[in-house]
Structure 1
Amino acid sequence: MSELIFQKQGYLKEFDCKIIEVNKEENAVILDKTAFYPGGGGQPCDVGLLKTSTNEYVIKKVKKKGKNIYHYIDAKLPNIDEDCIGKIDWDHRYKLMRTHTAMHILCGIVWRDYKAQVTGGNMEPLKGRMDFEFENLDKDLIKEIEEKVNKEVENKRNINVNILKREEAFQIPDLIRTKINLLPEGINEIRTIEIEGLDLQADGGTHVKNTGEVGKIKVVDYKSKGKINKRLYIELED
C-alpha cells in the first residue's frame, strides 16, 4: 500500500517517491507514497506531473482500486524502482480545497441550525452542489443560509485534521452527516475534519487550514429533488 501523504499534508505541492508497481493494462503506476488525492466523497481527483531523471509524465487521473492508488499517464510506462518527484497541479488542488471546505461550512450551518442531514453532494473547482433533507426551502431561507456561511468565513475558524481509531471516532455524536453511512466496516481508522466551533465530520478529502481562505460563498440556485430533498448550488469567488 502507498503511504497517503495527502491525508495529513494537504499543502504539499511536491514530494519524493518511488515507483513500486506498473500496470500495463491500466497504463498506470503505483508509488510508495503519494500526495495525489484519488477522488472520493464528491471531490475530484488531483492531476499533475511525475518527474524521473530522464522523463516527465502527465498524471491525467488518479484513482483508488482496492488497496492501491493508481496514477494514470499518457505515455510509455516508466520502470519499477525508479525514483521520482510528484508535482501536484496546485491551482486545481487549492480551488478544490477551498470548495470542499465551503461545502463543510454549509453542511455545518445546515446541521447546527436546521438539523437537516446530507443526502448527496458533488463539486468541481469553485462550485458544488449539496442535497439536504429539507421539507421547505424558499428564497428567504436561502438568503439566511448564505449570510450564515459567509459569517463563518469571516470568523476565520481553524480547521484540524485527525485520524482516530474506529471505536473512538464513533463515540463522537453526529460524526456521520450523510443520510447513509458510507464508511465500510473494514476500515479501522477514521479521518476527521474539524472546523473549530462549527463542524466535525468523518471525511477523506483535502481542505484549507482556515475558513478565511475559502473566500465569499454564493448560493446561486436551489431545486426541489423530492418532498424532503432539496438541492443547493454554491459558487466561490475566484
Structure 2
Amino acid sequence: MSSQLIFQEDSYVREFDCKIISVNEEENAVVLDKTAFYPGGGGQPCDLGVLETASNTYTITKVKKKGDHIYHYIDGKLPEVNEACTGKIDWERRYKLMRTHTAMHILSAVAWRDYKAQVTGGDMELLKGRMDLEFENFDKELILEIEKKINEEVENGRSIKIDILEREEAFKIPDLIRTKINLLPEGIREIRTVEIEGLDYQADGGTHVKNTTEVGKVKVVNYKSKGKINKRLYIELED
C-alpha cells in the first residue's frame, strides 16, 4: 500500500492524523497511510518531527523514500501496526527549508532567463544553499547584479503554484528540466511541477512557500570557480 503524500499537495500542513501501516524492525522505522513529512531529495533535507499516539510520543530522526514507501525512522521503541497517531512537523525547520528552496528556484530562474546558464548541481540547508551554474566568466560585479535581480523577484510578490501532470503533458512545457542532466527516470509517469508565476516553471518534488515575498532578503555570500564553465554560488537568507 502506498502512502498519501500530503507534502506534495500542501506544503503548509504541519499536523495530520494518520495510521501505522507497517513497521520495519531492522530499520527501526514505520510507514504511514499518509504523511506530510518530506523524505528529502533534490538537495532539500528531509523533515523532522514527532509521531504522537494515545500513550507515547515518538521522535522522528530521519525520513527517507525507499522503493515505493516512505520510512519514518524512530528514536527508540516502535509503535504498533494499525496504531492511530498524529504526525507533527518541526515547522520552524520546515518553513526555513521552504523559503530556501524557493530562493534556489529564483536564483536558477534568473540565471537561465538572463544568462542562459543551466544548473549543474546544488544543495541546501536551513537558510543557506549553494548552486553550480554554467558560467564561463564570473566577477564581483556580476555577483552583485545577480543578487539584485534575485531580490527584485522576491519583492515582486509572485505566486507559486503546484501541479501534477502526466509525463507527456509535462514535457511539452519549454525548459521544464533546468538541470544539465535530466534526473527524472523514464518510469515516472506523473511529474510534479512548481511554477513561480511569470518567472519560472520546473519539475520539482520539494516544498515551497506560496509567494516569493515569504523568502525574505537573499544575499550571495561567496562564489568559486569549479571549472572552465562551472561556477558555484553560495546564498544565505535573512532569518
Question: TM-score under structure 2 normalisation?
Answer: 0.99
What does 1:17-96 align with in structure 2 at a 5 Å threshold?
17-96=18-97
1:126-145 per-position Cα deviation (integer Å, ceiling 9, x unaligned): 00000000001110000000
Query: Secondary structure of the equivalent of 2:27?
Result: coil
Q: What amino acid is the match of 1:126?
A: L
Q: What amino acid is the match of 1:208?
A: V
Deviation at 1:75, TM superposition (A): 1.1
Q: What amino acid is the match of 1:17?
A: C
1:86-109 per-position Cα deviation (integer Å, ceiling 9, x unaligned): 000000000000000000000000
Task: Indicate yes or no: 2:168 matched with 1:167.
Answer: yes
Deviation at 1:8, TM superposition (A): 0.9
Match of 2:140 in 1: 139
1:146-172 per-position Cα deviation (integer Å, ceiling 9, x unaligned): 000000011010000000000000011
Task: Indicate yes or no: 2:9 matched with 1:8.
Answer: yes
1:39-67 per-position Cα deviation (integer Å, ceiling 9, x unaligned): 00000000000001110000010000011
Please give the alpha-carbon distance, in whole angstroms, between the structure 2 residues aligned to 1:60 and 1:180. 31
Match of 1:110 in 2: 111
Query: Secondary structure of the equivalent of 1:6?
Result: helix
Identity within the alignment, %? 77
What does 1:158-237 align with in structure 2 at a 5 Å threshold?
158-237=159-238
Task: Mark the runs of 5 or more structure 1 residues left unpaired by the alignment.
Answer: none
Please give the alpha-carbon distance, in whole angstroms, between the structure 1 residues aligned to 2:219 and 2:9. 29
Deviation at 1:117, TM superposition (A): 0.3
Query: Secondary structure of the equivalent of 2:111?
Result: helix
Please give the alpha-carbon distance, in whole angstroms, between the structure 2 residues aligned to 1:205 and 1:85. 22
Query: Secondary structure of the equivalent of 2:150?
Result: helix
Please give the alpha-carbon distance, in whole angstroms, between the structure 2 residues aligned to 1:104 and 1:156. 14
Please give the alpha-carbon distance, in whole angstroms, between the structure 2 residues aligned to 1:223 and 1:90. 33
Task: Indicate yes or no: 2:144 matched with 1:122.
Answer: no
Query: Secondary structure of the equivalent of 1:131?
Result: strand
Query: Secondary structure of the equivalent of 1:69?
Result: strand
Please give the alpha-carbon distance, in whole angstroms, between the structure 2 residues aligned to 1:18 and 1:188. 27
Please give the alpha-carbon distance, in whole angstroms, between the structure 1 residues aligned to 2:42 and 2:113. 21
Please give the alpha-carbon distance, in whole angstroms, between the structure 2 residues aligned to 1:124 and 1:115. 26
Deviation at 1:219, TM superposition (A): 0.1
Task: Mark the runs of 5 or more structure 2 residues left unpaired by the alignment.
Answer: none
Query: Secondary structure of the equivalent of 2:55?
Result: coil
CA RMSD of aligned residues (A): 0.4
Please give the alpha-carbon distance, in whole angstroms, between the structure 2 residues aligned to 1:187 and 1:79. 32
Please give the alpha-carbon distance, in whole angstroms, between the structure 2 residues aligned to 1:65 and 1:137. 40
Deviation at 1:213, TM superposition (A): 0.2
Question: TM-score under structure 1 normalisation?
Answer: 1.00
Query: Secondary structure of the equivalent of 1:72?
Result: strand
Q: What amino acid is the match of 2:141?
A: D
Tell me how many residue pairs correspond in the alignment: 238
